[in-house]
Structure 1
Amino acid sequence: MEFPNIYTHRKVAETSAKSCDICFKLSSSVLITPDSKDWFYVCPAHLKDPNFCTPKIDQAAIEARKKKELEAEIERVKKEYEEKQKKKKAKAADAAAGENNNTSDDKKVQDGKQSEGDKDKKQEDEKQQAEAQAKAASPSSPVEEEEPRIFELKRTFYQQRLNKKRQVEIAKRNRERMRDPNFFPSVPKSLPS
């Protein structure tokens, strides 16, 4: 019974944890072949051991993830730029409207209001800049480096898995043979001569 030397790392519930095949400690990590012909429990620490297995890196998945992150960053920058442009247009429109409507008496009153309005706008801008810096320092969706999910066992461990599967098959075949009544020799029916 041959199966490919490609194992996928999966997690099971903590209540279903069983002993690791290598060190016999309880583990909820399982390595399983794509066709589910072979599987075994293994500690996550063994998956990082270069003498036990090597990770298979899916370049297409990595590139797709990077592209998705880049597109999200571009969208965020575009939104920020559009907001800044809207603010500049609003300020320019307010300034133009203020120049056309001002008279000498109104200028004194509006100067006081504008200075208060300018203070408020500056405070709002400072708050938004502080928020933007906080977001830049700690991204809103922290992306942890994903551990590899697909592994290839080293030759010796893979051979052990193959031998173990063969032994299980042989034991199963022997049990089936022993259940067959014709497996054992029959008792002689005649007297010896």
Structure 2
Amino acid sequence: MKNQYILRATASERPCFVCSKFSSVVLTSADNSNEDWFYVCKSHLNDANFCSRNGGASPRPASPASPKPPVAKNTDAKPESNSVSDLLSGIGTGIWNTWKGNTKSDDEQAKEKDKQNEDAKKTTSAQPDSPTPPPAASTPPLKPTPVTYILHRDFYYLREREVQKRKAKKDAAARLQSMQFPEVPKTIPGSLAKPN
């Protein structure tokens, strides 16, 4: 028995091996022998104390990542503050601006921001994208290798022990079937027979 398991989904739910919550995910032996399988929650698969991930779903080598366009930052905005004095001064300037005559509505301010964002998008889209090399047509597509999970030694010991118990139970049942017990006598022995 190897300490390698593959993740499979099932139609029915059963209790998790670790926490007894119902789950529809099963870890089975990686060698497809069906020697060992058990239900497990998906959350346990990310737990380093339960198992570690081995292998990956991507068979192709990683392509160099294309750089993402820089995100336009709003340099006009003041960083937010949680102090009461900043809050009161902000309220005061809003009142001051409306009394003074600077009455820009929220719609006008939103339109100005949209214009600034459009201008920023135009400048980033004007830059040519880096050319990507065409994929090689001669290489056949590779099958993705399934992700294998390696259990932590304590959990693996529990799985080994359970498999051994199952085998011992099966062997005991087979021995019981093959045993020949003596039959019950169908006739009375002569010494116990009643005299006439």
Structure with more helix by fraction: 1
The TM-score, its normalising length taken from structure 1, stands at 0.49
